[in-house]
Amino acid sequence: PAVAALIARLPKTELHLHIEGTLEPELMFELAGKNGVTLPYADVAALRAAYDFSDLQSFLDLYYAGAGVLQDEDDFYRLTFAYLERAHQDKVVHTEIFFDPQTHTARGVPFAVVLAGIRRALADAHAKWGMSSRLILSFLRHLSEEDGMATLEQALPWLDAIDGFGLDSSEVGHPPEKFARLFERCRALGKLVVAHAGEEGPPGYVWQALALGVCRVDHGVRALEDDALVEKLAASRMPLTVCPLSNLKLCVVDTLAHHPLKKMLALGLCATVNSDDPSYFGGYVGDNYVACQQALSLDADDIVQLVKNGFEASWLPEAEQARYI
Ligand code: ES4
Ligand code: ZN
């Protein structure tokens, strides 16, 4: 119908995307073979069949194991360029990408190798399609603040290539306040900060993310349980990077028809649509728009609002946002 055509046609952003979560099973097997890594699955079909998650942790276990096939600069280049090509098909013109250096440095892959491969792909996408991007170094919250501090030290020579810092991995039991000093240090370096909060964790974790000084909340769907929080987020137009198919696959919602996305728009929240870990969650950003449109009967105005919110929430200068909204 007309709304589906609108979704396909509109230039979009993607603001919540873990590059390690774009590793498709075919590439995972190819790199495993090249790098001599043994995967505990017979083939691509058996691996895909394992993508049946009960919660965030059951996904993260597989996600970290899969990332183990990434070893040299070219592996990170191929991973990233494959995502960018797929995003370009969805009319993504601007993407802000998380990478998890601790997942790789802990295996002996140097920080500089990870960054070089990702950056070369971003440069190629900019040269080929004019696609703009930002890069967000995300700290693993199941590790200590000290481990995060050591990772920040490793990043210092490359600060020009890093636009901001994030916080991801196992949420419950690892509240934002655990990283107060680390985030203060990131902000003192003049960087923007974001944090996953209110995905599985309670509204109190979203309040704590705000206290860290975030300029966006990743997920934030559980903020809707706290009226005062909703009021604050809406009044400040604090962006929430919502990932509907992720929420479905990780059982944050039982069915997409119960997803709060439409309600978030009605409440005046700056909700955006993103894919999170598209290889694992069964859809890229366009698929997330289409699935929500159908499940929630989003109309053309809803779609246009979500797309506009994406540009408003992005780190593009306002003059560049204005080319699209
Ligand atoms: C993640 Cl969906 C999600 N939540 C938290 N951390 C993550 N890392 C990669 N995907
Ligand atoms: Zn995420």
The H or E element containing residue 86 is helix 73-89
Tens digits of residue pLDDT in 190-206: 999 999 999 999 999 99
Residue ranges covered by each domain of the chain: 2-24+70-313
Best CA proximity match to 158, nearest among 101, 77, 74, 107: 101
**Best mutation site among 217, 253, 276 for ligand 1, i.e. most ligand atoms within 8 A of its Cβ?**
276
Ligand 1, residue 100: give the atom nearest the CA. Answer: 8
Task: Check residue 1 and give its pLDDT.
Answer: 78
Task: Supply the pTM of this predicted model.
Answer: 0.99
CATH number of 2-24+70-313: 3.20.20.140
Question: Could you tell me the pLDDT band of residue 227, with boundaries at 50, 70 and 90?
Answer: very high
Query: Do the Cβ atoms of 244 and 259 come closer than 8 Å?
Result: yes
> 269 with 307: CB under 8 angstroms?
no
> Is the pLDDT reported for residue 44 higher than 90?
yes
Nearest ligand by distance to the CA of 245: 1
Using only C-alpha atoms, the chain has a radius of gyration, in whole angstroms, of 18
Mutate to test the pocket of ligand 1, among 199, 221, 249 (most ligand atoms within 8 A of CB): 199
Q: What is the ipTM of this complex?
A: 0.98
**Pocket-forming residues, ligand 1, beta carbon under 6 Å:** 18, 21, 56, 63, 168-169, 196, 199, 246, 276-277
Q: Tell me what the pLDDT averaged over the chain comes to.
A: 98
Single-letter amino acid, residue 256? L
